[in-house]
Chain A
Amino acid sequence: QQPVQSPQAVILREGEDAVINCSSSKALYSVHWYRQKHGEAPVFLMILLKGGEQKGHEKISASFNEKKQQSSLYLTASQLSYSGTYFCGTEGGGGSQGNLIFGKGTKLSVKP
């Protein structure tokens, strides 16, 4: 039931764009995105609730396709500070609400 993230790793030059995908085999109530830098705690980026909405946060946005049980994180005009490992955390409905299941992460490296 762990969501599958792709790609596993990506290397960008400053200013380039990237897309990180997160797929689940079960119905989802919400998808949470986090970024974690080495040796630090995960930092919340955004949450998407079922309904197919798209959200934005500076140059980082995300979409949630409820029917496909997929979410994508879009990073545009990447900056050095975007480097880190990105995790999606999925949340099912009913009794599992609030219990996040995280993917294995996507390591993003932004080079000058």
Chain B
Amino acid sequence: ETGVTQSPTHLIKTRGQQVTLRCSSQSGHNTVSWYQQALGQGPQFIFQYYREEENGRGNFPPRFSGLQFPNYSSELNVNALELDDSALYLCASSSRLAGDGETQYFGPGTRLLVL
């Protein structure tokens, strides 16, 4: 186990609704990254938060937004849900070290189904 927790584990929503997913980072980590993983695909980078600010964003529309809190936990918000948003949402925490690679440790994920 990595120490990264996510809630909820499963969620069912309908098109047009809004959803908030939560992630608690591993102790000592200050960076949280969010990924979307469709069935049979690799994780796709959504965005990363470092020191409560967005630090890089993948090819996702603005209706995907996030927050990071002073305790380094994070939220992913998705507005106006679409059927294609159905996926496993993974958060990964890491420790930002200048000049070094960051090992990202994944949480168990939240499986979102949009009907």
Residues 63-115 (chain B) with a chain A CB within 8 angstroms: 90, 94, 96, 100-109
**What B residues does A42 contact at CB under 8 A?**
43, 90, 106
**What A residues does B102 contact at CB under 8 A?**
97-98
List the 4 closest A-B pairs by CB distance, nearest first.
A102-B42, A41-B106, A30-B101, A99-B56
A40 at the interface (CB under 8 A from B): yes
| Contacts A41-B90, A42-B90 given; does A102 touch B43 at CB 8 Å | yes
Residues of A in contact with B (beta carbons under 8 Å apart): 2, 29-30, 32, 34, 40-44, 47-49, 87, 89, 91, 95-105
B33 at the interface (CB under 8 A from A): yes
CB distance from A81 to the nearest CB of B (A): 16
Q: Is the CB of B48 within 8 A of A99?
A: yes
Residues of B in contact with A (beta carbons under 8 Å apart): 2, 31, 33, 35, 41-45, 48, 50, 55-56, 58, 90, 94, 96, 100-109
Q: Is the CB of A47 within 8 A of B45?
A: no
Q: A40-B108, A47-B103 are in contact. List 19 more A-B contacts (CB 8 A).
A: A41-B108, A43-B106, A44-B106, A48-B101, A89-B104, A96-B56, A98-B31, A98-B33, A98-B50, A98-B55, A98-B96, A99-B33, A99-B56, A100-B43, A100-B45, A100-B104, A101-B45, A102-B35, A102-B45
Q: In chain A, what residue has the closest Cβ to B58?
A: A99
**What B residues does A101 contact at CB under 8 A?**
45
Which of A42, A87, A102 has the largest number of chain B CB atoms within 10 A? A42
**What A residues does B35 contact at CB under 8 A?**
102
